[in-house]
Structure 1
């Protein structure tokens, strides 16, 4: 069941990246959305097949998502909804997957 958030983000991030590109012609949004979406999809597949490093990859993706949102949250002074949503999603996914990494590694 730990793969569910990865597959959800794998579907949503490319849609968001494409939407961001169509709205603002932001090539970084397109590249980041599609790349992170593919990476989350791969992480979800690894997790589902119980293979190594799936949760670690999902955690890394989550940290990247959070890290990419922080400068935009600061730039917009936390008034724009999209950077806030991306930041919150990245934070929640990071917390979830760090918990999963600890459970799988240490049985905690």
Structure 2
């Protein structure tokens, strides 16, 4: 399994927060994107290093990113939150499947 999708999504989250801050002066978006991006980066490093709870963290943080970006997409109809929402949804599905495969082979 790969740690790269969650690492890339971490960067997309950070860029989305920086964009929201510069365009709309949204400090909560900046703080939240750095918090969720940091958690995603930690999950990526845990998967890469073969540590426990990497897949769980990746699935959880991806799912946590879907909700605010979906709300922002519906509210603003802008392409950046829509793209981040789509990537987060795909990442959630990928890491749930990866977690199921990992647990199936561990038994």
For Structure 1 versus Structure 2, the TM-score category normalised by the shorter chain is: 0.7 to 0.9
Higher relative contact order, structure no. (Cα contacts within 8 Å, ≥ 6 residues apart): 2
Q: What are structure 1's unaligned runs of at least 5 residues?
A: none
- Distance (whole Å) between structure 1 residues aligned to residue 73 and residue 26 of structure 2: 17
- 1:50 is matched with which residue? 50
Q: Number of paired residues?
A: 106
TM-superposed deviation, 1:5: 0.9
In structure 1, what is the equivalent of residue 100 of structure 2?
102
User: Separation in 1 of the partners of 2:25 and 2:90?
Assistant: 28
Give the corresponding residue for 2:32. Answer: 32
Tell me the distance in 1 between the aligned counterparts of 2:81 and 2:16. Answer: 11
CA–CA separation in structure 2 for the residues paired with 1:58 and 1:13: 13
**1-side partners of 2:16 and 2:56: how far apart?**
23
Q: Whole-Å Cα distance in 2 between the matches of residues 23 and 73 of structure 1?
A: 15
* Unaligned ranges ≥5, structure 2: none
Normalized against structure 2, the TM-score is what? 0.88
Counterpart position of 2:71: 71
Supply the distance in 2 between the matched residues of 1:70 and 1:81 (Cα, whole angstroms): 11
